[in-house]
Amino acid sequence: MKKIRTRLGLRTVVLGLTFAAVLLAVRFHTTDGSIDGSLAVGLDTPTTPSFGFTTLLMMENNLRLKFDDTSNSASFPGNDWSLEANESSNGGRNAFFLRDCGLSSQGNCSGNAVFTVEAGARNNALYVEDDGDIGIGTSIPAVDLQIQTGNTPTLRLAQDGTSGFTPQSWDVAGNEASFFIRDVTNGSALPFRIRPGAVTNAIDIKANGKIGIGTDTPKIDNKGIHVKSANDTTAASVGIGVDATGATGNCAMNLQYGPPQGHTFITARPCSNNEQIRMFVGSTERMTLTTTGVNIAGNLSISGGNCSDAPGGGGCTPDYVFKPGYELESIDEHAESMWANSHLPAVGKGSKDGSFEITKTTWGMLEELEKAHIYIDQLNDQLRQKTGEIEQLNDRLVRLEAAVLNGNQASADH
């Protein structure tokens, strides 16, 4: 039996339709009508339902509210929609559905459920504020979309393979430990993290491809990376390896520049005695740093400026020793200093650990070499002078010997 309860004016009429013995005609109105009161509809509606504050009460085991648009012109929209409470199949879901019925006929609808709310969903599972902000888990969203939960609010991006591409899922989430991106498909690896309290401009990628770490104005050629300390009182460092702090015993490479004196240093520590730091140009290995030394394949060229800071001022060689006014010590003075100090005067004394300043030492060696050639020329002049004197003495000796020989011959003749 299907019961229909209506209230007309101040009077309530309950109509009962029974098909057991007598078939009554369904009343059909062609004019507008209204009901002053609540309306109960459905196969299981009782004779005197308890409405409470409900205006429209629907009661039966398959509750559907269908919107059947009868527009028949191609220029007008005519899609049908249905609001449904729970699935009708045995073991189906307890849920509320908004279904897209397409161009269905009257009460029929088998389209997609475009919106579903399962029974037992949490309070404020989806909340839309009057300004358009959307809250998930909150009724007071502070921004366009706010996701709120007690443990690691997460947004999942899942490619399911239905379009022919390999399935892949990513999570974007955050909690008290970090903000992170999780590769769900590949072992839930965390390739990207930001810790709470990270400084402003920790990473800044510019439109031109330059990347700033610690700065929003990376100053670097091409599309490189500019690393800057968070303030001007600490050094900026780039580390590669197990422990890039530069501590002894930790295999790593550390490049650092910064205050207090703007110092720069590179620390490279192999993990074992067999490891090397190798430098390539293309596929050719040019330099190798090992625990025992440095190996260079090819020529080592060192270029500089105009040598204005060289000892003696100006020029890339110590040619000042040839200029007038230069006080060149004598050979004896030079030798006295050399033997007294056990080193060449311009080269200087070597360090106990065998290290030396290559520019200063090379400069001193060149100075000593040029002095040596001056001394050689001086000695050559002296040699030429002595050679001339010896030749003169030889001539005199020849003449004296001839005179003596002639004197002895004359004495013999008498």
- The full set of domain ranges for the chain reads 1-60, 199-296, 319-405
Burial zone of 2 (CB within 10 Å; 0-12 exposed, 13-18 middle, 19+ buried): middle
**244 compared with 67, residue with greater pLDDT:** 67
**313 compared with 149, residue with greater pLDDT:** 149
Looking at residue 315, what is its pLDDT?
Answer: 60
| pLDDT at 95 exceeding the cut of 90 | yes
Paired with 280 in beta bridges are 285
pLDDT tens digits for 229-240?
867 667 777 877
Task: Determine how many CB atoms are found less than 10 A away from the CB of residue 366.
Answer: 17
| pLDDT at 213 exceeding the cut of 50 | yes
| pLDDT at 203 exceeding the cut of 70 | yes
pLDDT tens digits for 254-273?
777 766 555 666 666 666 65
* Identity of residue 215: T
Answer yes or no: are the C-beta atoms of 5 and 14 closer than 8 Å.
yes
65-69, 217-221, 306-310: range with highest mean pLDDT: 65-69
What does pTM read for this prediction?
0.62
Q: Residues 163-170: what's their mean pLDDT?
A: 98
Q: pLDDT grade, residue 401 (50/70/90)?
A: confident
The phi and psi torsions of 188 (rounded to 5 degrees) equal 55, 35
Longest dimension (CA), the chain: 200
Burial zone of 318 (CB within 10 Å; 0-12 exposed, 13-18 middle, 19+ buried): buried
Answer yes or no: are the C-beta atoms of 4 and 17 closer than 8 Å.
yes
Pairing of strands 211-213, 63-67: unpaired
What's the whole-number average pLDDT of the chain?
84
pLDDT tens digits for 96-129?
999 999 998 888 898 999 999 999 999 999 999 9
| pLDDT at 358 exceeding the cut of 80 | no
